[in-house]
Structure 1
Amino acid sequence: MNIDWKRQFTLIPVWIIVADLLLNVAETVKFALSPVTSPRASDGLQITPEFAFDWIQVIINGGMVLIVLSAIFAMLKMKRLSDEGMRLAPTLTRACSVLAVLAFAMPAVWLWGWALFDFIAHGRLTIALNQPRSLVVAACQPYLVFQAALLWRGQHRLYHRKYVSNIPALSSPMDNQ
């Protein structure tokens, strides 16, 4: 198995996001497994509603992370194929993958834009520095939007090149007659 280290190095922001998503799921599982400090019901039931609701949160959080991670990896695969010059058919799965990544990452771009505007217009620093992990992940999320834009640009260029290259070139105006 050949590993392209240059490509992996450029994907460090993506790996930071992936690690954070998996860490959040692990923290949710840890919280669900931790003993409940509330007193047991008088009927002596082993399973309290809090225990069940904690696991519902684990299932929903894990499902969301699974969807986002599969969409990120599908988009990165499409980007790699696009960089290699392969035209990709616009399927529903590919479109949903890119839309899921954009739905995940665009709020960060929006908030970074407003934070920059607030800093430039009013001189207020609205970025919270007390949670460095969240700050680093929020700084990495616009990279996903950038990758999606590069994917769209590459596919647009490949489709345009394919259609333009089929038109024969005329060497002089007289060839047209």
Structure 2
Amino acid sequence: MNRLLSSVPVWVILADMIYTFVLSILQSFNLTQSQLPKDGLPVAPDIAFSGLQVVANGGMILIIGFGLYVLLQLNRAVLQKSVFPIGVFRALGLIAVLAFSLPALWEWMWALVRLAGGHNTFNLDSPRYLIVAVCQPLVALLCVWRLYGWQRLRSHVAANVE
């Protein structure tokens, strides 16, 4: 049960990334042809820019999605008290997750400071974005906490071997 509850923020972010990627693909297919300006050089077609956006979003989803998948595996291994081998690619995936989610922890801290100062810092117009924004620092904390647990397990196993 603990594994299920602790992995909910990761699954929420994965689902939102996939949903946003599908929306990006659908939006790139539903372009309206814009008029070229009458003076000056013609601009590149919209399809090229939307295609670049889809490729960039797809690359981000592959990198962050792989890191989130590694975090799910690490979460399961630490909760089962088994040593999880972390190689170069898994470490890079976890670093990408931390680079993606640690700034959200920093921003939430400042948002709470501003809220305590009397400023309205939360926008409730888009609940999807608010839910993902709440999940991002939870993913950062989960990653750091599970890496700490992994290190404790690893040192405990090494001490028992010697």
Question: Could you say which TM-score interval applies, normalised by the shorter chain?
Answer: 0.7 to 0.9
Structure 2: 5+ residue stretches without partners:
38-43
Q: Of 136, 139, 162, which residue of structure 2 is paired with 1:141? A: 136
Q: Give yes or no for the alignment of 1:100 onto 2:96.
A: yes
**Alignment of 1:51 onto 2:47:** yes
Q: 8 Å contact 1:78–1:151 — kept in the other structure?
A: yes
For residue 78 of structure 2, what is the aligned residue in structure 1? 82
SS in 1 for 2:82: coil
- Structure 1: which 5+ runs fail to align? 42-47, 168-177
- Superposition TM-score, scaled by structure 1 size: 0.78
Give CA-to-partner distance per residue, 1:35-75, whole Å, 9 cap, x none: 3241379xxxxxx6211221111111111112111110112
| 1:10-44 deviation line (CA, Å, top 9, x unaligned) | 42222221111111111111111013241379xxx
Distance 1:87 1:49, change over 3 A: same
Distance 1:19 1:60 in 2: 18
Tell me: CA distance 1:96–1:163, structure 2 relative to 1, closer, same or farther (3 Å).
Answer: same
Q: Is the 8 A contact 2:31 2:46 kept in 1?
A: no
Which shows bigger deviation, 86-95 or 65-74? 86-95
1:80 and 1:114 mapped to 2: Cα distance? 32
Which protein is bigger by CA-based radius of gyration? 1
The 1:125/1:85 distance shift into structure 2, 3 A limit, reads same
Aligned length: 157
CA displacement at 1:79 relative to structure 2: 2.2
Q: TM-score by structure 2 length? A: 0.84
Per-residue deviation at 1:163? 4.0
The 3 A distance-change label for structure 1 pair 78 and 33 is: same
Q: Percent identity?
A: 31
Shift >4 Å, 4+ stretches: none
**1:75-96 Cα shifts (integer Å, max 9, x gaps):** 2102212222222344211211
2:152 corresponds to: 157
